[in-house]
A and B are shown apart, each in its own frame.
Chain A
Amino acid sequence: MFTFFTEIVRKDVVDRRGRFVGHPHDFTATFDEAYPRVTSLIISRGIFNKRYYSILWKDLHQTADGFQLKMTLDSLKPLEDYRSKGEATFRSGILDQQVVDTFNRKVVRVNDLHFLKVDDDLRLAHVDIGLRGLVRRLGWEGFVDRVVKIINRHADYLSNESFISWKYVQPLSIQEATGKIRLNVEMDQLREIPPSDISTMMMELDPYQRAALLKTMDVQSQVDIITELELKWQKDLLEELDAQTVIKLLERMPADEATDLLLELSKRDADRFLGMLSTKKAREITELMEHEADSAGGMMTTEFIALRENMTVGEAIDHIRQVEIKKAETIYMAYVIDDDGKLIGSVSFRELLLELMEEKIGDVMQTKPPSINVEESVKDVAFEMDKYNLYAIPAVDDDGVMEGIITIDDVLHVTVEEAWGKRGGL
């Protein structure tokens, strides 16, 4: 049998002798099962000077018109404030709070709870996020239903319940001691949401929920989510994380993005983090920091695939697979450099796949590939990439030594903003 939270809290609670105790107010539940099972009932007594009683679920009967306790009223001890106990309750964790609807991939607010009663157990089955749930909370459901029926007997309002099965609900306010959000038992749902969608959802949460949600992800997802956010929010998020986590994230971020983020931080924090990073990453970042922000050098990343002229195609593919794939931002283009580090050619991954394994790179590469000087402007980069239809363009210094690459996503970001402006919020 199904019943709503709103209906339950209107019922009466009486003690063993039938004396009125109060009304149900809240529930604690165990969230370790697929559908949370209610473990105790919190009763509120009085109107102005409210007192709360917590009763274990096994210490009460459910009757036709409410609940009967197995003890007497006199034996109950009131709680000062049941919220401060730190236990997850429906009111503090779910009802009226924001949750993630992992099916529709949105942050929603819960209007009512839908319970399933099996024998003596009460289990949370759905959350109601619809208008009707809101009307029910206001106590106008009967009235509004009648009015709607007069206007249109088959109105969507009456038939379309906006329920989300608990399976697809990820609560955000129930946090563990570690500051992580307690994952729903069916936790994979959250993991399947693309990082860019999670970033969008994060904007609707408060900073603590943002950090807590981020902590539930693995490091690679965290990096993907963070780099999707605007710099300002990236910085705010870092402030909520501990130094260890920050370092792990910075290590995995593409060097150009990590540089931008560090430049956003205070000098002191940036220096501290730089000191904790691996020498290699720290060197890459420091080099990038030296370039003018608005030059090609400022937007490039130093992580690219470098090949040699005398490698065979087979060796090149092996090299990419074993050595370079972890650190390069893109593998679609590989660049051929000589002993001095000068750029002498480029080859796309597509070409590598189509060529015979024994061919020499020097024979298949495109010689004198389009490149850009590190001093040139963002605009020049965009024009150059457009002209040659490139996904990435190598950046070289005055001697032709290759310093890094600029990828299409970085350029697109600027041009989109130039063309259509930033999508604003309130």
Chain B
Amino acid sequence: MDFRERLKKLKPQAPKGIWRNVAIFFAVLGPGIITANVDNDAGGIATYSIAGADFGYSFLWLVIPVVFALIVIQEMSARMGAVTGKGLADLIRENYGAKVTFYVMLALLITNLGNTMAEFAGVAASLEIFGISKYITVPISAFFVWFLVVKGTYKTVEKVFLIACLFYVAYIISGFMAQPNWSVVGRELISPSFSFDTPYLYMTIGIVGTTIAPWMQFYMQSSIVEKGIDIETYRQSRWDVLIGCIMAGVVVFFIIVACAATLNPAGIRVESAADAALALKPLAGDYCSFLFAFGLFNASLFAASVLPLSTAYYVCEGLGWEAGVDKDFDEAPQFYGLYTAIIILGAVVILIPDFPLFFIMVFSQVINGVLLPFVLIFMLLLINRKDLMGEFTNGKIWNFVSWFTVVAMIILTLLMIFTFF
């Protein structure tokens, strides 16, 4: 007999009014919205800020196609999870064998190690604004994250992180208060511009890589499976995916606009959190750096709690090792070993004196962008297999958008490498 629900009723009733509404909001929060919010992590904030500060409005046109591709790809992940009931790593292993899986997992592990470094760099950079040394903040955060998950209290804390994500509203308000030239913004949003120099290509791959990160597809599919969403209930999840992706897109748009309107005309290059924080000055005035520090810290810690855990989980899932926080160390040594190693490695690198924090935040996103097409290829091969997906294989438009993304990302990567030398 399940008394969980009953017991909840025994506890003091939740306050009425605003808190009741908040509770309802969280009850309907789905994997799509959570994934989208984790997506705007330290790497994301840094990449969008620098894109706006260094290139003005010239990356705005990218937002609409990237968000469109994000919707298509996240919907694919959700659909695969709902139809097969398996995670992406499982599917790759069962259909393409141990060898392919091993190298995909190795690439994912390295990329996500980079992402974890970016999160701890975000922690270090944000708290430096308050004058707290990274030698204190990073080890404490790393331990906090490790402890949170191993003690299984993550799910309760997740909601706190999510509420704090309302911080992104600050960018929207600040974007308006900076009084950008809206006709220019509108024109840039719909007229593509392109350049073949290395920094522009680097930034393009970074923006795509941070918005459509490879780990998100694994995370999304596993969340769907874990929530027990199946073919009948997946229609509602499409809305969840759509809303999540659009929310992410709006945040991307306003971070770029706010930075382009404030930092770009002043000629400020983002090299520290204090620089990036100036984008919030129209809203918060002299308190902008505190506001920014709070937002960056929350986003970094949120993603840092999700990334190492999920990475260890997929790698173990794909390679057939036991995984999950409900197992103890003796049952799942590889899982806990990997999980702990990712956190320690991710944190230790940041402790190197004068480590370029903003460089790693953006660079990790570029690596995401380089890996993305390969993960997408596997997703596309799997989702178009009749024996796995039955009548739920991809339609023509979906296939076109995804294959286009694959080809575009490979060409961009080759161009970047080519122009670099």
Contact = CB atoms under 8 A, between A and B. Distances in A.
A206 B325 contact: no
A258 to B, nearest CB: 10
A354 to B, nearest CB: 32
Contacts of A138: 98-99, 102
Interface in A402-425: 410, 413-414, 417-418, 421-425
B3 A410 contact: yes
B170 interface: no
Interface of B: 1-7, 9-10, 84-86, 90, 93-94, 97-99, 101-102, 152, 154-155, 222, 225-226, 228, 230, 232, 309-310, 313, 319-320, 322-326, 387
Contact of B325 (A84, A95, A232, A424): A424
Contacts of A425: 226, 324-326
Interface string A72-114: 0000000000011000000100011100000000101111000
Contacts of A257: 1
A207 B5 contact: no
A273 B4 CA distance: 24
23 contacts: A96-B97, A108-B320, A109-B320, A110-B320, A138-B99, A139-B99, A206-B85, A206-B225, A236-B228, A236-B230, A256-B1, A294-B6, A299-B1, A377-B10, A413-B3, A422-B4, A423-B152, A423-B326, A424-B152, A424-B154, A424-B155, A425-B226, A426-B310
SS class, residues of chain A in contact with chain B: helix
A233 B85 CA distance: 13
A378 B3 contact: yes
B326 to A, nearest CB: 5
A298 B6 CA distance: 9
Nearest to B85: A206
A294 B10 CA distance: 7
A332 interface: no
A207 B86 CA distance: 9
A233 B6 CA distance: 18
Contact of B320 (A83, A111, A377): A111
A207 B155 CA distance: 24
Interface string A234-275: 001001000000000000000011001000000000000000
A134 interface: yes
B323 A137 contact: no
SS class, residues of chain B in contact with chain A: helix
Interface of A: 83-84, 91, 95-97, 106, 108-111, 129, 134, 137-139, 206-208, 230-233, 236, 239, 256-257, 260, 293-294, 298-299, 377-379, 410, 413-414, 417-418, 421-426
A417 B313 contact: no
Question: Chain B CB within 10 Å — which of A236, A256, A421, A426 has the most?
Answer: A426
B324 A426 contact: yes
Contact of A379 (B10, B93, B94, B225): B10
A98 B96 CA distance: 14
A208 B325 CA distance: 24
Nearest to A97: B94
B221 to A, nearest CB: 12
Nearest to A420: B152
A426 B99 CA distance: 26
A299 B2 contact: no
B85 A230 contact: no
A127 to B, nearest CB: 11
Nearest to B92: A96
A391 to B, nearest CB: 16
A236 B85 CA distance: 11
A414 B9 CA distance: 12
A414 B325 contact: no
Given A134-B102, A424-B155, A207 B6 contact: no
B1 A260 contact: yes
A414 B86 contact: no
